[in-house]
Amino acid sequence: MSDSLYFAHVTDIHISERESQGDPSASLAACLMRECITHLNALPDLDFVLITGDVMDVAGVAERDAFLEILDTLRKPWHFVPGNHDGFIDPFHPNALKPHEAVARIDPRLADPVPAAQKACWSRSVSPGVQLIALDTRIADDWAGEVEPAQLDWLREQIEAHQDAVIIIATHHPLHQLGPHNNRGRLHKFICSNGAEVEAVLDQYPNVKLVISGHHHTNHLSLVNNDNGQRLRVVTSALGDYSCSHRAIRLEKREAGWRVCIQTHQTDDVDMLQTMRRRAATTGIAREFDPNNLAAWATFCEGRPHDLNYDGYLR
């Protein structure tokens, strides 16, 4: 690979038209996305931006068009992995854009085949010797995640075809549990139902170094150690929900191994942050996470100190 790869991870922007339905904080996501893009445009050596889905909220036309209008101000290459909010087919969202109406318009590279759930996976060289492989973990009519057998076969083929490259995997749903809460109630839908099966494939290949995900709205880092080497799982909190963060990730080849440096950037707008934190405590998810402490969900979303910044070597 080239000496260094430097990219940003932005996820779960949730551009929302719910303001017109009485949620005054709904418009904040657009503000946060503009602020984030201003920051990213000012990074001269940033190679690309990875957006791992849920760019919209209820998948209305206004949301899609607002997202595209703001995205148009980004002066860096970008890559997009669809999330479960990027189009709906379920009866609870009768007025929403269908995934093929939303995803294909957001990223025409994903228009063929029709980007139904499980179909919008892709594999691209993002730098000499670096392959970015995106899995489509959406399922058709639910917010849970999965990787179907055919996509798992495709993943194996892609990794086999790029044994000489460093591989970065991108998914909307994390493949691993972030905590015991992922076994409770609806909270299991925050992770891929067969993530362990996918990770068992990744375990076989020491050149898979990073797995980058969103959907959980949480900053979380965890290291996988196995006989073949190490890889880092990176889950980033929502940009358009608390804790309003994005990441900058640098990957370098050194004699001691692969050096990975991660910095987490939170919005500078303190008022906006407090509004989002208060809103997070009012959600059903916060009640399920800890019914006795509704603020605990927001605290979990922030991440522990060691989930925010990382500087280490992967053997």
Binding site for Fe ion (CB under 5 A): 12, 54, 83-84, 215
CB of 262 to Fe ion, least distance (A): 20
- Most distant CA atoms of the chain, gap in Å: 56
Position 147: which residue type? V
Q: Which is nearer to Fe ion, 37 or 81 (CB)?
A: 81
CB of 274 to Fe ion, least distance (A): 20
Spatial contact of 191 and 176, defined as CB atoms under 8 Å apart: yes
Position 153: which residue type? D
CB of 30 to Fe ion, least distance (A): 16
CA 235, 246, 168, 109 torsion-angle sign = positive
CB of 54 to Fe ion, least distance (A): 3
* H or E segment and range at residue 102: helix 99-106
168 CA to centre of own chain: 13
Residue in the structure block whose two tokens are 């290291």: 223
Q: Which is nearer to Fe ion, 141 or 203 (CB)?
A: 141
* Structure token digits, residue 126: 């993002």
Q: Which is nearer to Fe ion, 54 or 302 (CB)?
A: 54
CB of 104 to Fe ion, least distance (A): 19
Q: Which is nearer to Fe ion, 143 or 205 (CB)?
A: 143
Q: Tell me whether strands 257-266 and 245-254 are parallel, antiparallel or unpaired.
A: antiparallel
Q: Which is nearer to Fe ion, 131 or 218 (CB)?
A: 218
